[in-house]
């Protein structure tokens, strides 16, 4: 089965694929920046930095929620962070691979986008069911629309292949 060539994509579909690709690349760059920022903070006293930030915004570090955050920071710093950093690196690589595949109109980019987007839908729906908001509805609907569009693209490819 030979997938259609990139020139077989109608211009509006190509624009949609490129918009999705740009969004996925943006998510990849944001995750990369956050990961590098986190790695850059590791040699420092994160407990002190977070306590200072909490005080700077007008909260007392001893209050319930700020204290919970500080406890979580202390637990995080006492664990092996390699799995977390490897997961972050994998996420960044998947986002960039998906962005490239969609931008270049590759069938595997559409599969990767549809599968990775579909993985989030149950969690987004659960979140909306338990904490309904316009934002959570918008995120779930946008993701379902993207997964649906990519599924339609894959179906179109399948029907066009000889």
Distance between CA atoms of 135 and 132, rounded to whole angstroms? 8
Tokens 């259609």 -> residue = 4
Pick the more confident residue, 85 or 6.
85
Is it the case that residue 3 has pLDDT exceeding 70? no
The reported pLDDT for the residue numbered 12 is: 87
Tell me the residue length of the chain. Answer: 162
User: Which residues, other chains included, contact 143 with Cβ-Cβ below 8 Å and sequence gap of 6+?
Assistant: 117, 120, 121, 124
What is the per-residue pLDDT for 116?
Answer: 94
Query: Residue 1 pLDDT > 50, yes or no?
Result: no
The C-alpha atoms of residue 68 and residue 107 are separated, in whole angstroms, by 45
Question: pLDDT digit string (tens) for 12-36?
Answer: 899 999 999 999 999 999 999 999 9
Mean pLDDT of the chain: 91
Dump pLDDT digits (tens) for 103-162.
999 999 999 999 999 999 999 999 999 999 999 999 999 999 999 999 999 999 888 876
Residue-wise pLDDT tens digits, 64-112: 999 999 999 999 888 899 999 999 999 999 999 999 999 999 999 999 9
The percentage of the chain sitting over the pLDDT mark of 70, rounded to a whole number, equals 94
Q: What is the pLDDT of residue 77?
A: 85
Q: Which two tokens stand for residue 71?
A: 């406890």
């Amino acid at each position: 089965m030979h997938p259609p060539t990139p020139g077989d994509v109608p211009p509006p579909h190509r624009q949609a694929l490129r918009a999705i690709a740009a969004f996925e690349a943006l998510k990849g760059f944001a995750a990369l920046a956050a990961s590098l920022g986190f790695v850059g903070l590791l040699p420092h006293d994160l407990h002190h930095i977070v306590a200072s930030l909490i005080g700077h915004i007008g909260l007392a570090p001893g209050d319930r929620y700020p204290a919970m955050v500080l406890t979580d920071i202390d637990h995080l710093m006492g664990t092996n962070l390699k799995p977390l950093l490897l997961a972050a690196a994998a996420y960044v690589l998947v986002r960039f691979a998906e962005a490239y595949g969609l931008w270049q109109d590759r069938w595997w980019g559409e599969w990767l986008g549809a599968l990775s987007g579909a993985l989030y839908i149950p969690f987004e729906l659960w979140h909306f069911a338990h904490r309904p908001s316009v934002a959570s509805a918008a995120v779930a609907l946008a993701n379902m629309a993207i997964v649906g569009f990519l599924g339609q693209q894959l179906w179109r490819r399948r029907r066009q292949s000889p």
